[in-house]
Structure 1
Amino acid sequence: MVESKIRVEHLYEDLDREIRNSESSRSALQKSREVVDRALADGRPYYGINTGFGALAGKKIGAGDLSKLQTNLLLSHAVGVGPPLPFEISRLMLKLKLYTLGLGYSGVSLQTFDRLHYFAENDLIPVIPSRGSLGASGDLAPLAHMSLPLIGYGEFWDGGPGASADRRKPVDAVKALKDHGLEPISLQPKDGLALINGTQLMSACGAWVMEKCSHLLAMADLVAAMSLEALQGSIVPFDERIHSLRPHPGQSDVAANVRSLLKESEILDSHRHCGKVQDPYCLRCVPQVHGASRDAIRHTRNVIETELNSVNDNPLVLENGDIVSGGNFHGQPLALAMDYAAIALSEMGSISERRIYLLLEGHDGLPKLLMQETGINSGFMIPQYTAASLVSENKILSHPASVDSIPTSLGQEDHVSMGSISGLKLLQVFEHVETILAIELMTAAQALDFRKPLKPGRGVLAAHDYLRSQIPHLEEDRYMREEIDRGKVLLKEKKLREHAESASGKLK
């Protein structure tokens, strides 16, 4: 049983700690390598060690060609296409591969492990094309590209440790190796297969999103609370008694967050007896919609965390000396979970856009389009277009990739997960939802300005005051793209949330 050492909420700290402590892995690495060496001596066929791969598993390879077999494996599988993966995803892939190899069930040589360790420690991050993985037999093409620099092929992102991702450019691997006083290495039997069999692309995409999701979900509740105040919505649908009768965990957490953020609201008191019976669903059903997405994300986080602490190589080198073939490289658990997460996040964006639209309609004393002089000014009309466009794109991206499969390797690999597609779609959906929520944040803040001198709840007020210290109220049209970009920065940073929590208590 593999011990769980990598947790999503502390992803980067945990990975860095385990990589720094990889010296403690050397005993397990050495033992698994000795198993491989003994297997080579007994003359029997072992998949991928002294045989061909995939449909060629029945072909025995002579002892003199075993190193070339592993080199050819990288070269033949490095057929990825499309734009490169984001730098952070590539770096995460490298660290996840290093961690799982270090668990000692892959039989990788110490020379190869040490070189990968050097890459990670010195921020030598390979350039990896984003397309080409089927999410079964591992993320073969992406991991082959990740491993090419070991043998003097491929590219690194230049820039060195600490350089920002947007300033890095591809540089030839041989040149980068020479700059570090290194030469390409010769792969040993099993090395190439251990490098490319795995779920590190899928895992990196899922882990990257999950690590950021807890903050995004809390911010979605904060932004919704600001819209609720600006629209003079009712607090009644957030009554704890309602949610105790349908006790989904996420639903209860969202309702509690909104109640906390709206404490001591003068706006709520001003319309408490206005006679309005019910708000539109985008306000009234925030706990149910946001909460369902929270529960879906919680499930996905658990799946991703299990995978981060798993061995997904093939064949596996076991402690008793057995070398066994299985299917731990198959990405189905990840594919299903990431499709689910994309749907959940897409719904967060969808209900947010409905609140944006409602804020522009001129309800309860708000000026239409949230600007006094319209005609010459378009106000917040067009940011809603942008949000609507992203919501619609997310609906397309939320079509599950995991229901598709195309047989490969002459039918040997006859069912694949397409989990890499799930992961890449999830990245895009997440970024779209960040933008949609940033637009709602800017729109709700503008609307809330028109409720003065009445004050919103303590948490909303603190968040609004901080936002206004960074971005002023719009009296007339200005370059709105800059406003959205600045709003997105505020949404992603922790300061806005910290100001709200300092006034109303920690958000769930």
Structure 2
Amino acid sequence: MIVTVDTTGVAAGDVVAVARHGARVALSDAAIEAMARSRAIVDRIEASGRPVYGVSTGFGALAGTPIATPRRAELQHALIRSHAAGVGAPMPPEVVRAMMLLRVRSLALGLSGVRPDLAQAMVALLNADVVPWVPEHGSLGASGDLAPLAHCALVLLGEGWVLGKDGSRVAAADALREAGLEPLRLAAKEGLALINGTDGMLGMLLLAIADAGHLLAMADVTAALAIEAMLGSERPFLPELHAIRPHPGQAVSAANIHRLLQNSAIMDSHRDDLAHAVQDAYSMRCAPQVAGAARDTLDFVTATAERELRSVVDNPVVLPDGRVESTGNFHGAPLGFAADFLAIAAAEVGAIAERRVDRLLDVTRSRQLPPFLSPDAGVNSGLMIAQYTAAGIVAENRRLAGPASVDSLPTSGMQEDHVSMGWAATRKLRTVLDNLTSLLAVELLSAVRGLQLRRPLTPSPAGRAAVIAVEEFAGQPGPDQFLAPIIDQARSVVAGRALRARIEEAVGALG
């Protein structure tokens, strides 16, 4: 697959394809022409001698310092070296690749005043799979992701580090030589154009959106399996009950759960028992209200990210009429708010899943299932400690759901006196979603154990598919096993697409 970067930018799916699946990148002729026109304006400004921020002045609090013409290229290189000041473990390759593609996208819009060679050099890094070593700490989300982007830009100069295939830190000069690439010399304005913008936080947000969409569908699956295993009622998920509270995500989630519970001998066994399940617990009955609200949150976040994909976030921008204007478009508030909002929603989807796990394991509330889902409880503890693990993760997600975007700290001699913390917001969102994967894995394992213990009654088609998938690595209920690798396998099932595909084959596509 080849992703072509045009003057209209790229799509969210393009970012995922390049970041995760190794898609190659190309620049359209129109993008190359737009960059060349923009560069010609910068060349004319530089020749005129008039002071313009980022071209003939210093940066940030040093914006009033004029830079002599012979030193302007030196200024751009010094900017990259000084701003590549991050610390900590390296960011995952998928995040760095997403960030690099989005920086190419920004340059290709033709308002940054850079030579096409600059964007071509970054495309060459992507296509050679040279991944800069970008430390996890350094960005405040304004003026964009300065430090992370500077670590990427430094590699273009043949300096800094790249991430080796074994996770080691490799000198950029050696990596470029091995890939057959030459270091780049920057011209006026180009260093600044490489580091101003929201590309890191937007890249992480787009990857998170892709993960969250799948996890919310799987949350409906694991909720339905748990409700079935606990002899819950399907009636709270009837469409007419959700039409009277018309939140779109809630309707989708309820329809998913209702469909997943059909054609089940387990559900048939108590459907006509008027004394049974007059009202299920909130964690069962209100599953669509929580997961549906998360779906609506995800829709808002997706719309925000799509707008950002169409945005020019450089500073200053070179307008077609020859003006060079300073902007605040690099400020990451829209993305920071969105990431914090989605982290809150995902944390609650995980929290309600843990409550269903606890109910499945509690002999006083699980409707005749054995204690902790062990057929020989006492000698065996069953899934008791798996619920402890889930509870600990829920507690961590509650801490991570605290918003990063309200925690501004002033920098650059009070020139940058309000920052977004969008990088921190999107980083912790990734952790929340990874934790949600673990919580749904524990619910999947617990629900399948419950369905197995309802035999000889047979579960729904979705339940049968889940039982088959889990039995491959967890076997039948019985003596205690080493649980950590089993939970890890369940995580892979939740994160993967195979079980969902088998379920959708049986019941139709999930919303």
Query: Counterpart amino acid of 1:356?
Result: V
Partner of 1:277: 278
SS in 1 for 2:428: helix
Query: Aligned partner of 2:76: which letter?
Result: Q
Shift of 1:467: 3.0
Aligned to 1:410, what secondary structure does the other structure show?
A: coil
Q: 1:129 aligns with which of 135, 144, 147?
A: 135
Residue type matched to 2:10 in 1? I
Relative to structure 1, the CA distance from residue 75 to residue 14 in structure 2 (aligned partners, 3 Å threshold; closer, same or farther) is closer
What amino acid maps onto 1:476 in structure 2? P
Alignment of 1:263-302 (within 5 A): 263-274=262-273, 275=275, 276-302=277-303
State whether structure 2 residue 147 is matched by structure 1 residue 141. Answer: yes
Distance 1:485 1:132 in 2: 32
Aligned positions of 1:216-227 closer than 5 A? 216-227=215-226
Letter paired with 1:232 = L
Residue 315 of structure 2 aligns to a residue in which SS?
coil
Q: Is the 8 A contact 2:135 2:148 kept in 1?
A: yes
Shift of 1:331: 0.2
**1:7 maps to amino acid:** A
Alignment partner, residue 48 of structure 1: 54
Q: After TM superposition, give the deviation of residue 67 of structure 1 in Å.
A: 0.4
AA paired with 1:134?
Answer: L
Match for 2:434 among 426, 431, 453? 431
CA distance in 1, matches of 2:62, 2:383: 61
445-454 or 176-185: bigger deviation: 176-185
* 1:340 matched residue in structure 2: 341
Distance in 2 (alpha carbons) for counterparts of 1:315 and 1:225: 52
Residues 211 and 433 of structure 2 are in contact (CA less than 8 Å); yes or no, is this contact kept in structure 1?
no
Q: What's the offset of the Cα at 1:470?
A: 4.6
Matches within 5 A, 1:453-468: 453-468=456-471
Q: Deviations over 1:431-487 (max 9, x none)?
A: 000011111111111111011121222223233333324541241111111001100
* Distance in 1, Cα, partners of 2:15 & 2:172: 28
Answering whether residue 446 of structure 2 is matched by residue 443 of structure 1, we say yes
Comparing 317-326 with 247-256, greater Cα deviation is found at 317-326
3-state SS in 2 of match to 1:152 = coil
Aligned AA for 1:8? Answer: A
Which residue in 1 is equivalent to 2:400?
A: 397
> Is 177-186 or 250-259 further displaced after alignment?
177-186
Paired residues in the alignment total 500
CA gap 1:17/1:88 in 2 versus in 1, 3 angstroms = closer
Please state whether the residue corresponding to 1:408 is helix, strand or coil.
Answer: coil
Please list, as runs of the form range in 1=range in 2, the aligned pairs for 1:83-482 lying within 5 A after superposition: 83-159=89-165, 167-274=166-273, 275=275, 276-362=277-363, 363-482=366-485
| CA root-mean-square deviation | 1.7
Q: Distance in 1 between matches of 2:88 and 2:127?
A: 27
C-alpha spacing 1:178/1:203, structure 2 compared with 1 (3 Å): same
The alignment partner of 2:162 has SS state of strand
Assess if the C-alpha contact under 8 Å between 1:94 and 1:146 holds in 2.
Answer: yes
2:16/2:207 contact within 8 Å kept = no
Contact 2:473 2:486 in 1 (8 A): no
CA distance in structure 2 between the aligned counterparts of 1:107 and 1:19, rounded to whole angstroms: 21
Counterpart contact for 1:463–1:497, Cα < 8 Å: no
Which SS does the other structure have where 1:130 is aligned? Answer: strand
Give the conservation status (yes or no) of the 8 Å contact 1:133–1:139.
Answer: yes
- Give the TM-score normalised by the residue count of structure 2: 0.95
Give structure 2 stretches of 5+ with no counterpart: 1-5
* Contact 2:103/2:194 (8 A) holds in 1: yes
Contact 1:205 1:427 in 2 (8 A): yes
**What amino acid is aligned across from residue 239 of structure 2 in structure 1?**
E
What is the distance in 1 between the residues matched to 2:460 and 2:471? 16
Unaligned runs of 5+ in 1: 160-166
1:354-395 CA-partner distances (Å, limit 9, x unpaired) = 011001012211001001112221110001111111100010
| AA of the residue aligned to 2:256 | N
Equivalent residue letter for 2:504: E
Q: Give the match for residue 35 of structure 2.
A: 29
CA contact (8 A) 1:85 1:130 kept: yes
TM-score by length of 1: 0.95
Pick which of 174-183 and 488-497 moved more: 174-183
Matched, 1:484 2:483: no
